[in-house]
Structure formats: structure tokens, C-alpha cells
Amino acid sequence: MTLTIYGFGASRGQRAVWACEEAGVDYTYEDLDAAGGEMQSPRYLAINPAGKVPALVHDGFVVLESAVICTYIGELASERGLVPAYGTKARVTYDQWMFFTVTELEQPLWTQGKHRFALPRDWRVPEVLAVVPKEFARAERTLSQGLGDRRFMLGDAFTMLDVMVGHTLFWARAFGLELASENVQRYADRLAEREGWGRAVKATTG
């Protein structure tokens, strides 16, 4: 099995690497020179026409979008129970919170990133940054209610959903946004202590 992950630094590519570390699958990580324009190179655009990361190539099969990539990796190691089986209520709940993470919890962070550094300067609208903490706080309250007093999002067992949610919470902290709910704070702290996360940080940022 040949599995290659493309990313750069502390990007969403860390999610895919963390997923591999938790799943125990062999992978190669290719760190792209984003500042040097490598993500817009013909070689990489042939893999991901959007010019974004992460991308996963598995024996020539390309998988894009971090939530899909994490799920795909988890299913490669199905014996570890990192992704609930199709047709179960647990899988529906897993998908529900996966979609929530990318459409609600992450979006204020990406808005901040775009209007601080990612977009061309003449596209940025500094005024939009004022809504970011409010939008994130609302999403974080919803997450807190969904998490409740469970150890992980779906209960006592870690899943790839926790990779997605955890990385998003780490991103929020890096941007200086408050995790106001005590259960979410404890959850994020718990995930940050995982050995798989530590190895993913080392692999992606040195």
C-alpha cells in the first residue's frame, strides 16, 4: 500500500497525518512549499485542482477534503473502530458532527484566516473579523451540548471525528479564540495529550 499525504506546516494537512498516526497505517508525508507557490504548481494542481491541502493519494487514487480523508484512513484500519459502520445510528451521528465541524465550527476560523493572510490583500475585508468570535462562540456552545459529559464525541472510544473536532479546537486556540465551555476545554486538553497528535505535529512542523 502506497499512501501519500500532501500538506504544509500547521495546516489542515495535520488532520490527515494525525489520522494516519491513530490508524497505524504507513504513509509518506510531502510538505509543500506554500509560500513558494508549490500548491499552485502544475504537478500539484494535477492532484488537487483547487490548489489546497490536504490531499491523499492511495495507490493512484486521489482523495480530497480533510473530513473525507480522515474517514477514508479510518476505514483502511477498520479493525481499530475509528469509524462507525454504515447503517448504524453511530455512523449517522458521526456524519452529523463531521458536517457540523466543517460547515459551522471551522468556518469562523477560516474567515479569520482568509481575511488576515490567505486572501490577496485587496480582497480582504478587515471589518468582517469582528463577527468571528461571536460566530465561533455560538458554534462552540452547540458543540458543548453535543459533547455533554462524554470523553470523546461518540462516547468512550476515540474516532476520526475527534481528529476533525480536536484539530479545529487547536486551531481556535492558536487564533486566540476562547473555549468558553468547561467540557470542551477538558476535551481539547485530553486530545492534545494523545501520542498520535504529538507525532503528527512533529511530522508536519518538525
List domains and CATH numbers for the chain. 3-81+199-205 (3.40.30.10), 89-194 (1.20.1050.10)
The distance from CA 115 to its chain's CA centroid, rounded to whole angstroms, is 20
Is the torsion defined by CA of 180, 191, 161, 108 positive or negative? positive
- Per-residue pLDDT, averaged over 135-141, amounts to 98
Average pLDDT over residues 42-46: 98
Amino acid letter, 192 = A
Strand-pairing partners, residue 58, are 3, 61
The amino acid present at 134, given as its one-letter code, is K
- Residues 6 and 10: their CA atoms lie apart, in Å, by 12
Residue type at position 203:
A
C-alpha cell at 140: 462552540
With pLDDT > 70 as the criterion, what percentage of the chain qualifies?
Answer: 100
Residue 1 has pLDDT above 80, yes or no: no
Predicted local confidence at residue 2, as pLDDT: 83
What pLDDT does 105 receive? Answer: 98
Judge whether residue 206 has pLDDT over 90: no
59 and 4 Cβ atoms separated by less than 8 Å? no
